[in-house]
Amino acid sequence: MAPKIAIIYYTTYGHVATLSKSIQKESYGSLPALFKTFFDATVCRFFVSTGTIGGGQEATILNSISILTHHSIIYVPLGYAENFSQLANLEEIHGDSPWGVGTFAGAEGSRQPTALELEVASAQGAQFYKTLFNVF
């Protein structure tokens, strides 16, 4: 039986929603109807967006882990194992890190996720499903 996956996000300018669409694949996930699904989860991964570099993407994920702990939810980081070349890419600015997928919205919210950020988001979704499949 395939695990149920909810992709839960909050977005102001739509950047995180765009990332979620790259994470979501028809075969393993869909957007949730109710936020309650979050508390039914046992494993999770994060994706974030901030206005600028140094906007707190990694800190946001790190600070959120304590909430997961209180609900006995396991956090699975993106890591470098399967994404090192993308995460270490110095040719373009990107918000991705081993903590999870990320993008920069720009100070006024006009910057959209890049092809690289969307590629890593898609990889994160596939890796997350693979992790769930192996665990459950």
| pLDDT tens digit sequence for 64-104 | 888 888 878 888 899 999 999 999 999 998 989 999 999 98
Q: Residue 101, CB half-sphere, CA atoms under 13 Å: how many?
A: 30
Q: Domain of 105: which CATH number?
A: 3.40.50.360
In the predicted model, what is the mean pLDDT of residues 104-129?
90
49 contacts 16 by C-beta, under 8 angstroms: yes
Quick check: pTM over 0.85? no
Report yes or no on 99 lying in a domain.
Answer: yes
Closest CA to 124 of 104, 95, 91, 93: 95
- Residue 32 in this model has a pLDDT that exceeds 50: no
Report yes or no on 4 lying in a domain.
Answer: no
DSSP 4: P
Residue 110 C-alpha from the chain's centroid: 20
75 contacts 44 by C-beta, under 8 angstroms: yes
Report yes or no on 77 lying in a domain.
Answer: yes
- Residue 20 in this model has a pLDDT that exceeds 60: yes
Report yes or no on 9 lying in a domain.
Answer: no
Residue 103 domain boundaries: 15-39+47-129
Report yes or no on 5 lying in a domain.
Answer: no
Report yes or no on 7 lying in a domain.
Answer: no
Report yes or no on 86 lying in a domain.
Answer: yes
Confidence at 41, pLDDT banded by 50, 70, 90: low
43 — phi, psi (to 5°)?
Answer: -135, 140
In the predicted model, what is the mean pLDDT of residues 27-35?
41
97 — phi, psi (to 5°)?
Answer: -150, 170
Closest CA to 95 of 85, 83, 105: 105
List the helix and strand counts (H, then E) for the chain: 5, 4
Report yes or no on 136 lying in a domain.
Answer: no
Domain count of the fold of the chain: 1
The count of other CB atoms within 10 Å of the CB of residue 18 is 18
At 118 the pLDDT is 93
Which tokens is 28 given?
Answer: 């393993």
